């Protein structure tokens, strides 16, 4: 594996009975990179993350994570990876400091008390160190979970929808912390549903139906979709969208606040399809497709699937 890669895997596959949850995925993640991992619910993101950190054994595939073989050396990977699950998974009847001390004991952290105290200070938890975890808001629980998965000084953090259910201010503060840690060399693979978070990542991978459909920097993912998009403003946009979705050349018509985005993969066919509607009282303007336009397109094109 090249020295600048934290993750370098190919053909990663996991089946549950007749369901192929992850279907021959190749992925490379550079050291110090914030790599977004996107896809609809049931797309296979969590299954893939669990294979990377050694909690699930792949049925097929090969590669390395942090220089260790993902098939034969999962125990070594576990010691160098921090995994933050979708749901808060710490003891709600223990305080912040007690939870972190417990996790540090499990990892056999040297100078445990000093490390726990430093972790609490680094993530701004000092004033709440003795507060019970069950009394914390979503944002503070998130900070505790991040502190816990970093207590053993990992080189890679796998975060599975870490900001779900957290208010916008806490989300912003969380991402400020992520960028600070990445600037110090820590690598992140972060599953998220939020487009504003995806746009903060250095590179993205989009998975649906267990298959990797798009991969690259934001501008590369948008460019590879070959999508043409028009912005529409005016009255009764919901009714207009319904009519437009029936037109040839129109692959999606999606509301974005007070405007409508109308897109297609064939620019000529799209222009012909919308031509009868490009008149007052609606105002039409061609725009650059957004990342959300692209992901809606990918979701519409992907086969349905449901996985853990």
- Residue-wise DSSP of 33-97: -EEEEE--TTSSHHHHHHHHTTSS--SEEEEEETTEETTT-HHHHHHHEEEE-SS--S-TTSBHH
pLDDT-derived band at 307 (thresholds 50, 70, 90) equals: very low
Instruction: Round to whole Å and give the CA distance between 177 and 171.
Output: 10
What whole-number percentage of the chain has pLDDT above 70?
97
Instruction: Indicate whether 306 pLDDT > 50.
Output: no
Q: What does the alpha-carbon distance between residue 42 and residue 304 come to, in Å, rounded to a whole number?
A: 9
Closest CA to 222 of 206, 207, 239: 206
The string of pLDDT tens digits covering residues 61-101 is: 999 999 999 999 989 998 999 999 877 888 999 999 999 99
Give the start-to-end residue ranges of the domains of the chain.
Answer: 5-221, 228-288
pLDDT at 142: 86
Mean per-residue pLDDT for 31-46?
92
pLDDT at 303 over 70: no
- What's the CATH fold of domain 5-221? Rossmann fold (3.40.50)
Residues 42-53, mean pLDDT to the nearest whole number: 92
Mean pLDDT of 30-50: 93
Question: What would the mean pLDDT of 16-40 be, rounded to a whole number?
Answer: 95
Whole-model pTM?
A: 0.88
- pLDDT tens per residue across span 156-186: 999 998 888 788 888 898 899 999 999 999 9
**Rg of the Cα trace of the chain?**
22
Q: What is the mean pLDDT of residues 89-115?
A: 93
Domain boundaries 228-288, corresponding CATH code: 3.30.70
Contact 49, 160 (CB under 8 A): yes
The predicted-structure confidence for 247-292, as pLDDT tens digits, reads as follows 999 999 999 989 999 999 999 999 999 999 999 999 999 999 999 9
Contacts of 191 (CB under 8 A, 6+ apart): 37, 38, 39, 45, 46, 49, 159, 160, 161
Query: What is the arithmetic mean of pLDDT over 18-37?
Result: 96
Percent of the chain topping pLDDT 90 = 74
Give the separation between CA 102 and CA 112, rounded to whole angstroms: 10
Give residue 199's pLDDT. 93
pLDDT in tens, 196-237: 899 999 999 999 999 999 999 999 999 999 999 999 999 999
């Amino acid at each position: 594996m090249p020295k600048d890669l934290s993750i370098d895997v190919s053909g990663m596959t996991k089946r549950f009975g007749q369901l192929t949850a992850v279907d021959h995925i190749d992925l490379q993640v550079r050291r110090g990179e914030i790599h977004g991992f996107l896809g609809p619910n049931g797309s296979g993101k969590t299954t893939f993350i669990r294979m990377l950190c050694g909690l699930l054994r792949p049925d097929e595939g090969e590669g390395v994570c942090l220089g260790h073989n993902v098939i034969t050396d999962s125990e070594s990977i576990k010691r160098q990876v921090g995994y933050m699950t979708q749901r808060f998974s710490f003891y709600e009847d223990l305080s912040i400091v007690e939870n972190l001390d417990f996790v540090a004991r499990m990892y056999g952290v040297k100078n445990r008390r000093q490390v726990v105290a430093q972790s609490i200070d680094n993530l701004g938890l000092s004033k709440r160190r003795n507060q019970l975890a069950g009394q914390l808001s979503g944002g503070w629980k998130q900070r505790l979970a991040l502190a816990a998965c970093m207590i053993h000084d990992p080189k890679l953090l796998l975060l599975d929808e870490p900001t779900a259910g957290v208010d916008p201010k806490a989300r912003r503060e969380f991402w400020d912390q992520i960028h600070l840690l990445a600037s110090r060399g820590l690598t992140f693979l972060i599953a998220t549903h939020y487009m504003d978070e995806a746009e903060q990542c250095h590179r993205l991978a989009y998975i649906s139906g267990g298959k990797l459909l798009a991969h690259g920097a934001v501008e590369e993912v948008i460019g590879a979709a070959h999508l043409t998009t028009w912005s529409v403003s005016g009255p009764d946009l919901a009714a207009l969208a319904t009519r437009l979705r029936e037109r040839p050349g129109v692959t999606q018509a999606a509301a974005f606040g007070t405007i409508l985005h109308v897109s297609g993969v064939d620019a000529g066919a799209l222009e012909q399809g919308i031509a009868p509607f490009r008149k007052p009282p609606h105002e039409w303007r061609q725009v650059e497709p957004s990342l959300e336009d692209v992901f809606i397109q990918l979701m519409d094109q992907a086969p349905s699937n449901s996985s853990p």
